[in-house]
Structure 1
Amino acid sequence: MTTSPRRLTPRRLTGLALLASAAVFATTACSSGAGAPAAESDGDWSAVTVEHAFGSTEITAEPKRVVTIGWSDEATLLELGVVPVGMAASTYAGDEDGYLPWDLEKLDELGEDKPELFNTDDGMPVEDIAALEPDLILGLQSGLEEKEYEQLSAVAPTIPYLDEPWKTPWQDATLAIGKALGREDDAQKVVDETEGHIADLAAEHPEFEGTTVAAATVVPNSTDFGFYLEGDARAALLEELGFTRAPFIDELEADEGAFFAPLSREHADRVDTDVLLMWHSTPEEREKLEKSDVFGEIGAVADGRYVGYDDPAEAMAISSPNPLTIPWVSDRLVDDLAEAVEGEA
């Protein structure tokens, strides 16, 4: 996971809304970077091709210097034992420098130095990325525009999102990164282990099975709710835990390609779900909403089946799940959901 998106084009606004609405809504790199792959190649390299939204990218030599620009690409890379030479700073949920807690923990575990950071809030810093001398650029969890993809591809082989911006499933992203690194078997093992972890959590909580859930936020610059749709990472993770997406969500109107559907608070009576899970941009926003009469009239809220988050790191960990953040955040998430199912949240 990297930082908040960049310029305020329509796609940028989509990314900005995703980061902020999840309550999820540095130094410029100018050297060659400190990070390096943590494991050496154990065989000859064979060229690989990764298909994606803008066509395909061929990687003809084993990547040694990887740069990540996608939200969670660096975390997936670290879980595969490879340290990027540079990555985008997280200006929302990172520390004062822009490093995320799970990344720092993994770097410490690997005994590796921190990668160089660059800021993407105001645009893709192509020159700064080029200064890192990458031989692979990863942007699977991003809204990378085609022009930017072409600019970055002139620097090094670049892999953007696979199908739709911001919507590459963590499993697909992991396998694509593994393929690009020549570590497909390792990537499959990571996917299997992470899916096994989720399956174990679901097995420990059979009460989740068939229970309806609605994941939502407050839409930025409005008072509307935004309910996450099929294909959104948050909704997908909840379904992997055994929950069923509340049917009313599929009845809401959403823009083409959107990851959430808005619902005016005036129509809060349409929120029909066993459990309501919400992300808030700030504690103040959360407190204001939770004190409002209309919010208290929602059945799940009135019955103690509502869970709210306002911690940026937790929000980002859930909003862009990956093999590193899922174990990092899952214990609290599952405990909170279990209490909500019982009406004790």
Structure 2
Amino acid sequence: MPRVSRLVALSTAALLTAGTAACSPAPSSDEDGGSGDWSTVTVEHALGTTKIESEPERVATVNWANHEVPLALGVVPVGMAEANFGDDDGDGVLPWVEERLDELDADTPVLFDETDGIDFEAVADTRPDVILAAYSGLTQEDYDTLSEIAPVVAYPETAWGTPWREMIELNSTALGMAEEGARLVTDIEGRIEEAVAEYPAIEGDSAMFLTHVDTTDLSEVSFYTTHDTRTRFFADLGLTAPESVASASAETGEFSLTRSAERADSFDDVDIIVTYGSAELVEALEGDPLLSQMPAVDDGAIVSLPGDAPLGTAANPTPLSISWVLDDYLSLLAEAADGQQ
């Protein structure tokens, strides 16, 4: 890629203005200035094998939420992706990330604008020792270009399909903090278990997540499959995947599917519907002659999340957002289960 030479040959000015803080905990140094107790870390992923031969001191992250892993572990990245979904105050940082930065008494890292894809030059300007992207949609070309800057950890199997536990596992391993990452997973699981116990009414209910519902044309219904991290989060919350969604998901590797509204009766096994939208969307579903026949719609068991607000964003679970959203999300699900929404 012709950009590569520009990425590697950084200007003096860029070096002086590189990212604000942060590094992993300072390594013990040997006579050569390296870490005395670091062993090379090898991470296999869908786009290759990455070797991290020295302890990272400057951590950059790209794509959605990867920065939450080092932050949760007390490491402030030198650069991270700017939030472009659910950012209610327009500062490029989601509220649970801002709270964690405040807890660490840290400035906001350099924010990478990924509106038109990864800003390779901006990433290179932060001079990272490692680039975390365990939850991402990196192409092979993206990966190869980033690898010219620093070792890159990509997703394990499928683009945008890494569950939150594996995101933590891969990214923490790359930092040499695998044990801390495992403890983080255990801690989050404990918080989830404690919160779910307060809402026994939803335990065992089946849920589906409708997506991209067009209130002006309800002839088709799109929904996230069980491959998507939003629907996988249902299991953490004590919900189950209805057989109608599970069987359809088994036939594809896609994250969403579309069905004709004429087949709405196939979703008779859905107890709760979650979707992005407003009261107008709920009214449209309830007023549609076909979709209103779905038991979940008929019962009013619909959770409509604000797609452009943090609450809707957190339905896609990430290491820091889970604790932030748990009570609100569970409360909405419980209300829907009771047909109160």
| 1:142-291 alignment, distance < 5 Å | 142-218=136-212, 223=218, 224-252=220-248, 256-272=252-268, 273-280=270-277, 283=278, 286=281, 289-290=284-285
Query: Which segment is superposed worse, 84-93 or 167-176?
Result: 84-93
Residues 30 and 132 in structure 1, CA contact (< 8 A), matched pair in contact too: no
Query: Which segment is superposed worse, 219-228 or 123-132?
Result: 219-228
The answer to whether residue 22 in structure 2 is matched with residue 36 in structure 1 is yes
| Counterpart residue identity of residue 68, structure 1 | T
The structure whose Rg is larger is 2
User: Please, which of 101, 107, 115 is the counterpart of residue 107 of structure 1?
Assistant: 101
Q: Aligned equivalents of 1:126 and 1:278: distance in 2?
A: 34
| Counterpart residue identity of residue 335, structure 1 | S
| 1:80-119 alignment, distance < 5 Å | 80-94=73-87, 95-119=89-113
Residues 29 and 117 in structure 1, CA contact (< 8 A), matched pair in contact too: no
Shift of 1:202: 2.9
Cα–Cα, structure 1 residues 242 and 65, in superposed 2: closer, same or farther, change >3 Å? same
Identity among equivalent pairs (%): 37
| Counterpart residue identity of residue 141, structure 2 | K
Q: Aligned equivalents of 1:38 and 1:108: distance in 2?
A: 17
Shift of 1:250: 3.0
Aligned residue for 2:67?
74
Cα–Cα, structure 1 residues 34 and 286, in superposed 2: closer, same or farther, change >3 Å? farther
CA RMSD of aligned residues (A): 2.6
Runs of at least 5 residues in structure 1 that lack an aligned partner in the other structure = 1-27
Query: Which segment is superposed worse, 92-101 or 283-292?
Result: 283-292
Residues 134 and 154 in structure 2, CA contact (< 8 A), matched pair in contact too: yes
The answer to whether residue 311 in structure 2 is matched with residue 317 in structure 1 is no
CA deviations 1:77-96 (Å, max 9, x no partner) are 21111111111112232232
Q: How many residues align?
A: 315
Residues 207 and 273 in structure 2, CA contact (< 8 A), matched pair in contact too: yes
| Counterpart residue identity of residue 334, structure 2 | A
Residues 210 and 276 in structure 2, CA contact (< 8 A), matched pair in contact too: yes
CA deviations 1:233-288 (Å, max 9, x no partner) are 111111122211111113447984311121233433333211111123xx487367
Aligned residue for 1:9?
none
| 1:6-45 alignment, distance < 5 Å | 31-37=17-23, 39-41=25-27, 44-45=37-38
Residues 213 and 275 in structure 1, CA contact (< 8 A), matched pair in contact too: yes
Shift of 1:225: 2.4
- Normalising by structure 1, we get a TM-score of 0.84
Say which SS state the counterpart of residue 204 (structure 1) adopts. coil
CA deviations 1:39-75 (Å, max 9, x no partner) are 4346722211111001210101111111111311111
Residues 254 and 260 in structure 1, CA contact (< 8 A), matched pair in contact too: no
Q: Aligned equivalents of 2:272 and 2:227: distance in 1?
A: 19
Say which SS state the counterpart of residue 176 (structure 1) adopts. helix
Residues 213 and 276 in structure 1, CA contact (< 8 A), matched pair in contact too: yes
Residues 68 and 87 in structure 1, CA contact (< 8 A), matched pair in contact too: yes
| Counterpart residue identity of residue 118, structure 1 | F
Say which SS state the counterpart of residue 67 (structure 2) adopts. helix
